[in-house]
C-alpha cells in the first residue's frame, strides 16, 4: 500500500511540475499581495507584519487547496484515464491520498515566495519553533479547504467548479480577515466572521505569530467545518463513483 500511495503521489507531483503555471499562480498571487498591501502599510511594524505574513501564507495555501483542487478533480473526472485507473488492482485510497499529499506539497512550495518577501522587505520576525508551529497550523487549517475542493470537484463539471470555487474563495478570505485585519472590517462582518472557516485558521496563525488569544468560537467552528466538509467530500466522492460505475 505505501508503494501505491507513493506511485500515485509521484504522478500528481509530476503533473504539477510539468505545468508550473498553476504552481506559480498560487505562489505569486499572495507574494504580490504582500508587496502591494503589507509592505507599504504594515511593513515597519514587526507584529503587524508577522501577522500579515501568516495570513498571506494561508491565502496562497487556501487558493491551492480550494481552487486548484476543485478544478483538477473536476477535469480529471472528465477524462477516460479516470475509469482506466479503476481497472488497476487498487482501491480508491492510494489515489485519494496521493492527491491530498501532492496538494500539500504544492501548498508548502507556494508559501516560499511570501516568506521571502516577509524576510527581506518587512520587519516581520519569528523563531524556528514559531515558524514550525505556523506551518503546522497552516497544514491543519488547509484541510477543510481541500475537502471543500474535493467536494466541488466531485459534484460539478470543470467550468462550474472554476466559478464556484472562486465565488467561495474571495468572500471567505475577506470575511475571515485574511486580507484586512478584522478590526478594519465593517461591524456586521465581525459578527459573522467567527463562523467562517478561514477565521479559525487566521486565529491559529495569529496566536502563533503574534501571541494573541484565539477566539474560541472561531476555533470550534473551524473544527465543525472540517467535519462537515469531510462528510460532504466523502459523500460526493461515493456518489460520483456510484453514478458512473454502478
Partner 1 sequence: MTVLARAIEVSRRYGDVLALDRVSLDIRAGELVGLLGPNGAGKSTLINLFVGLRRPTSGVVELFGGSPGDPVARRGIGVTPQETGLPETLRVGEIVDFVSAHFPDREDRGELLARFGLGDLVRRQVGGLSGGQRRRLAVALAFAGKPRLVFLDEPTTGLDVKARRTLWEGIRSFHEDGGTVLLTSHYLEEIEALADRVVVVGSGRVLADDTVRAVRDIVGVRRVSLVAADLPELPGVLGAERVDGRVNLMTTDPDRLVVELVRSGTPFSGLEIRPTTLEEAFLTLTTKESAHA
List residues binding partner 1 (CB under 8 A). 3-4, 7-8, 10-11, 14-15, 18-19, 79-84, 86-91, 245-246
Q: Which of helix, strand or coil describes residue 178?
A: coil
Our CB check for partner 1 shows the closer of 19 and 157 to be 19
Place of cell 484565539: 214
Grid cell digits, residue 144: 477543510
Q: Is 127 exposed, middle or buried (0-12, 13-18, 19+ CB in 10 A)?
A: exposed
Our CB check for partner 1 shows the closer of 84 and 188 to be 84
Our CB check for partner 1 shows the closer of 22 and 182 to be 22
Our CB check for partner 1 shows the closer of 79 and 216 to be 79
Our CB check for partner 1 shows the closer of 212 and 244 to be 244
Q: How many whole angstroms separate alpha carbon 246 and alpha carbon 241?
A: 7
> Closest separation between CB of residue 6 and partner 1, Å?
8
Longest dimension (CA), the chain: 60
Q: Which of helix, strand or coil describes residue 78?
A: coil
φ and ψ at residue 213, rounded to 5 degrees = -85, 125
Q: What is the DSSP string of 197-212?
A: HHHHHHHHHHHHHH-P
Amino acid at each position: 500500500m505505501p508503494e501505491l500511495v507513493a506511485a500515485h503521489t509521484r504522478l500528481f507531483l509530476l503533473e504539477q511540475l510539468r505545468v508550473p503555471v498553476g504552481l506559480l499562480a498560487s505562489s505569486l498571487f499572495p507574494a504580490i499581495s504582500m508587496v502591494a498591501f503589507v509592505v507599504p502599510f504594515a511593513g515597519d511594524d514587526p507584529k503587524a507584519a508577522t501577522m500579515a505574513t501568516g495570513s498571506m501564507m494561508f491565502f496562497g495555501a487556501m487558493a491551492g487547496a480550494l481552487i486548484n483542487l476543485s478544478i483538477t478533480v473536476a477535469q480529471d473526472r472528465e477524462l477516460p484515464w479516470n475509469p482506466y485507473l479503476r481497472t488497476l488492482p487498487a482501491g480508491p485510497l492510494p489515489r485519494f491520498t496521493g492527491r491530498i499529499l501532492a496538494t500539500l506539497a504544492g501548498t508548502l512550495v507556494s508559501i516560499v515566495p511570501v516568506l521571502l518577501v516577509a524576510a527581506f522587505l518587512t520587519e516581520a520576525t519569528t523563531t524556528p519553533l514559531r515558524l514550525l508551529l505556523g506551518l503546522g497550523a497552516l497544514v491543519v487549517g488547509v484541510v477543510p479547504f481541500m475537502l471543500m475542493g474535493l467536494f466541488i470537484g466531485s459534484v460539478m463539471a470543470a467550468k462550474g467548479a472554476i466559478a464556484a470555487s472562486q465565488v467561495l474563495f474571495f468572500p471567505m478570505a475577506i470575511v475571515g480577515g485574511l486580507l484586512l485585519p478584522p478590526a478594519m472590517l465593517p461591524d456586521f462582518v465581525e459578527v459573522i466572521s467567527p463562523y467562517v472557516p478561514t477565521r479559525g485558521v487566521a486565529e491559529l496563525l495569529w496566536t502563533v505569530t503574534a501571541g494573541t488569544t484565539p477566539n474560541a468560537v472561531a476555533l470550534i467552528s473551524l473544527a465543525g467545518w472540517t467535519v462537515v466538509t469531510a462528510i460532504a467530500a466523502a459523500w460526493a466522492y461515493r456518489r460520483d463513483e456510484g453514478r458512473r460505475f454502478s
